[in-house]
Chain A
């Protein structure tokens, strides 16, 4: 049985197109310092540091843990670097948690980041290679056909994605750290925005952001001494499947379903919509909300869009299961950090420390990340109580 562990400190940067005032180290450092302050700790209190980010080509720094050692107070300590594509922020949190859950360490710092303004995400995600056998049309070109297939199967109305885009931006307007701030966004504005990858419009896609997110994870005894309420880690799970194989279910990937089943089982969740109070789920394109509502068992297959349209996932509409109260990836997307932000925002909710986007009385929350061709999944469930 895993040792009990909890999030005792959370730090983030403001997410924005370009943080022109800091170096790469400065960006990462800012989130780390914020997390330490939140935990009431200093550098010496940290036993190990686990960092994560998406491909090194984003910043052009190979294995950046080497350069970030001093910025993260790691000289003489263990340091690790995780990379599992878009899910990396989540996986990094899980690897960090395992340092404590294994009983090996008492207190670790984990940081995930991306400084996308150092290059161009479109370039970094599709660097040229000779003899490529696939046409590379970017993330939108990859995911849009899968969304179209979901629309065909579910017979969902055309404006479900538009609704998600509005809902998450209204959530983001409550979160001062969110990159996109659009308090006055309307369905019409989203519908009128440029159709990038039909059926995905410009305002239905995530931005490209600079930012970092950090957490301090502590053992049961140390967490109990923490000045602020801990977010107890109640379940952790990862799943991977290949990008392409015959018969692969791309709309509702099995890796996501298995991962959710695993994490729910650990957390004693039988009905996620009822048992969980909110969820921070990796939704980089609007339609992934209804798709993941089904994949994660919040709705039956083909029914996810109904929850969205009913307002069940909206804070502003008083929904019973708010999704992405922070504004989610549709508001802020420093790729390597996006997963950890989901995990950290879930923890903020159960700590009752989410400010204007707090879901009232949240006791149990899901953090979710995915990456690659929707093939790498990482999830955790955090709670205000140990069990």
Chain B
């Protein structure tokens, strides 16, 4: 199978409110920066474009149609869209390259979550007869998941605070982070609970922004003469929509995706995990079999800034950055969708 490389990544700042910025205005600067990284003019210089977004975030149908206005799609381009995190748009793009219909692709994701009440908006992703009409919010579902783990002795509140403290600390070197800084585990544990057992710090901030990635065949990357990382494996799996039918303390779908993506075939220097809640990072590190040798979420992860529909793509981009800069040889990126880690995508990246 064709070897595919990542050659560019950029993300906007994660901001709590993007203000007077429409989709086009949000996306365009990010695209400009990835094009500049490779020396491209616009989307005409890649063979395929795919994006990820969700209409309900800001409450307008066809958000992605406006996104096309940022591309320079005249003459017309090969373009598609998933109503999912853009990590899945990257997956679709990889299939396009593998089948020989493209040598390069631009992938972008964007979301303005600030206009709505995100945890309530996401309740409408649940079973439309039994759960959505009750308006069970996404934070409460995660809180129940965390309590299952606490009750079973699988984690402690201190473990959760550890994750948060490390995320905030790591985020100090991430200029796009929304939440960063030195905070001690004791300080975090001293905070009152928010949706018990979760504290506010265990939950991701609501963020607006966009991110973009360019991928291509290795031959193309060499032709462009830019640093790149190889995507050596990628796979994704979904689980039952009935939360109570799943073992919420584990992530079976992540494990399956990781096996198929070949995570275990070598050591892992860096992992970027889309864990919107602190306890979920622990589930994921265990499922992926990560040890102390792996640097987890050096960007701060999504606890430091969570761009809905782009954060999964950004995780892949963050691992790319560390491999391209020579800090890491091999890394794993994870993306998630749905309540309590229902749907998971795992990517393995390696240095060229």
- Touch between chains A and B, by CB atoms below 8 Å: yes
- What is the interface of chain A, defined by CB distance below 8 A to chain B? 1-3, 23-24, 55-57, 59-63, 65-70, 74-85, 91, 94-95, 98-99, 101-104, 124-125, 127, 129, 236-243, 245, 248, 253-255, 258-259, 372, 375-376
CA distance A61 to B130 in the complex (A): 12
- B residues neighboring A (CB under 8 Å): 1, 49, 54-56, 59-62, 64-65, 68-69, 71, 73-84, 88, 91-92, 94-96, 98-101, 121-122, 124-129, 132, 235-242, 252-253, 256, 337-339, 342-343
Residue of B nearest to A95 (CB): B92
CB distance from B166 to the nearest CB of A (A): 30
| Interfacial chain A residues near B127, Cβ < 8 Å | 67
Instruction: Give the CA-CA distance A65 to B124 in the complex, in Å.
Output: 12
Q: How far is the CB of A239 from chain B (nearest CB, A)?
A: 4
A residues less than 8 Å from B126 (CB atoms): 66-67
Q: Whole-angstrom distance from the CB of A3 to the nearest CB of chain B?
A: 7
Q: Is the CB of B79 within 8 A of A240?
A: yes
What are 5 pairs between A and B in contact, CB < 8 Å? A1-B100, A3-B99, A57-B61, A70-B241, A243-B68
Min C-beta distance of A374 to chain B, whole Å: 12
Q: Are B81 and A82 in contact (CB under 8 A)?
A: yes
Collect the chain B residues with CB atoms within 8 Å of residue A259's CB: 76
Chain A residues whose C-beta falls within 8 Å of the C-beta of B122 in the assembled complex? 62
In-complex Cβ contact of B78 among A238, A253, A254 (8 A): A238
Rounded to whole angstroms, the CA-CA distance of A151 and B92 in the bound complex is: 40
| CB atoms of B128 and A80 under 8 A apart | no
Question: B128: which A residues are within 8 A, CB to CB?
Answer: 24, 59-61, 67
Give the complex CA separation of A240 and B1 in angstroms.
28
Q: Are B75 and A372 within 8 A (Cβ)?
A: no
A242 touches B241 (CB 8 A): no
Residues of B within 8 A of A75 (CB): 238-240
- Asked whether B124 lies within 8 Å of A76 as measured between CB atoms, the reply is no
Query: Hey, which chain B residues are within 8 Å of A94, CB to CB?
Result: 80
- Asked if A77 and B237 sit within 8 Å, CB to CB, the answer is yes
Is A76's CB under 8 angstroms from B84's CB?
Answer: no
Is A127 within 8 A of B242, CB to CB? no
How far does the Cβ of A139 sit from chain B's closest Cβ, in whole Å?
Answer: 12
CA distance A81 to B75 in the complex (A): 27
A76 to B256, CA, bound (A): 7
Once the chains bind, are B239 and A98 in contact (CB under 8 Å)?
Answer: no
Majority DSSP secondary structure for residues of B touching A:
mixed
Question: Is A63 in contact with B125, judged by CB distance below 8 angstroms?
Answer: yes
| Cα distance, A113 to B11, chains bound together (Å) | 34
Q: Is the CB of B84 within 8 A of A241?
A: no
Contact of B83 among A81, A237, A245 (CB under 8 A): A81
User: Are the CB atoms of A76 and B239 closer together than 8 Å?
Assistant: yes
Check A61/B125 contact, CB under 8 A, given A74-B238, A75-B239: yes
Question: Shortest CB–CB separation between residue B145 and chain A, in angstroms?
Answer: 16
Contact A98 B73 (CB under 8 A): no
- Residues A66 and B92 in contact, CB atoms below 8 Å apart: no
Q: A81 to B91: give the CA distance in the assembly, Å.
A: 12
Give the complex CA separation of A103 and B98 in angstroms. 8
A61:B95 contact, CB within 8 angstroms: no
A56 touches B88 (CB 8 A): no
Neighbour of B76 across the interface among A55, A61, A80, A255, CB < 8 A: A255
Contacting pair B337 A63 (CB below 8 A): yes
Using A2-B101, A242-B73 as known contacts, list a sample of 5 further A-B pairs with CB atoms less than 8 Å apart, ordered by residue number in A.
Answer: A82-B82, A95-B80, A98-B99, A101-B99, A259-B76
- Which of B77, B91, B124, B256 is within 8 Å of A80, CB to CB? B91
Closest chain-A Cβ to B234's Cβ sits at a distance in Å of 9
Q: Output the nearest chain A residue to B309 by Cβ-Cβ distance.
A: A63
The answer to whether residues A84 and B125 also contact, given A69-B240, A74-B238, A127-B60 and a CB cut-off of 8 A, is no
Q: Which residue from chain A places its CB closest to the CB of B123 in the assembled complex? A: A62
Shortest 5 CB-CB contacts between residues of A and residues of B = A102-B98, A255-B76, A240-B79, A83-B83, A241-B76
Q: State whether B62 touches A372 (Cβ < 8 A).
A: yes
Please pick, from A59, A70, A237, the residue contacting B242 in the complex, using a CB distance under 8 A: A70
Closest residue of chain B to A23 (Cβ to Cβ) is: B129
Chain B positions within 8 Å of A372 at CB level: 62, 65
Cα-based distance from A55 to B64 in the complex (angstroms): 11
Contacts of A79 in B (CB 8 A): 236, 238, 343
- Report the Cα distance A241→B79, complex, angstroms: 9
Cα separation A127 to B65 with both chains bound (whole Å): 15
State which of A55, A67, A77, A238 has its C-beta within 8 Å of the C-beta of B62. A55
Smallest distance from the beta carbon of B134 to chain A beta carbons, Å?
A: 14
Least CB distance, B65 to chain A, in whole angstroms = 5
Q: Determine whether the beta carbon of A69 is less than 8 Å from that of B55.
A: no
* Interface pair A99/B240, CB less than 8 Å apart: no
CA distance A245 to B68 in the complex (A): 11
State whether B55 touches A82 (Cβ < 8 A): no
Contact present for B238 and A125 (CB under 8 Å) = no
The residue among B127, B342, B343 with the most chain A CB atoms within 10 A of its own CB is B343
Measured in the bound complex, the distance between the Cα atoms of B125 and A376 in whole Å is: 27
Bound complex: CA A201 to CA B342 (Å)? 47
A62, B54: Cβ atoms closer than 8 Å: yes
Tell me if B54 and A63 are in contact (CB < 8 A): yes
